Amino acid sequence: MKKQAPSILDKHRIIEMAWEDRTPFEAIKYQFNLSESDVIQIMRLQLKPSSFKLWRKRVNQLISSKHRFKRNTCIQRFKCSRQKSISVNKISKRA
């Protein structure tokens, strides 16, 4: 079965999540069913080469939290405790 290409809005959200240091690749996999290599490919195509290189450098640092196994064990969530709930990739409306 072939993966469906993400929409423009989904690509923007994926890029935003990929740039966030605290959002692991597992969260992107959970919401969009994209592997780390899929995210890297999107970032490579959508960013300027210099921006992509900066992002890859940050992701590959030992202190990066983009990979669950590199994260501090006290971090048990995908999002900030003050962030609104996200369910099925729909961001809750502000009250």
With respect to residue 14, please indicate whether it lies within any of the assigned structural domains.
Answer: yes
Q: Does 51 fall in a domain?
A: yes
Domain span including residue 31: 1-68
Residue 32 lies in a domain: yes
Is residue 25 assigned to a domain?
Answer: yes
95 residues of the chain, pLDDT tens digit each? 556 778 888 899 999 999 887 788 888 998 999 999 999 999 999 999 999 999 998 888 755 566 666 555 665 555 555 555 555 555 555 54
In 3D space, the residue among 62, 60, 47, 37 whose CA is nearest the CA of residue 15 turns out to be: 47
Question: Does a structural domain hold residue 93?
Answer: no
For residue 84, being part of any structural domain is answered with: no
The number of folded domains in the chain is 1
CA–CA separation, 40 and 85 (whole Å) = 26
pTM: 0.65
Q: Number of C-alpha atoms within 13 angstroms, CB side, residue 3?
A: 9
Tell me if 53 is assigned to some domain. Answer: yes
- What angle, rounded to 10 degrees, do the helices at 36-46 and 49-59 form? 150
27 domain residue, yes or no:
yes
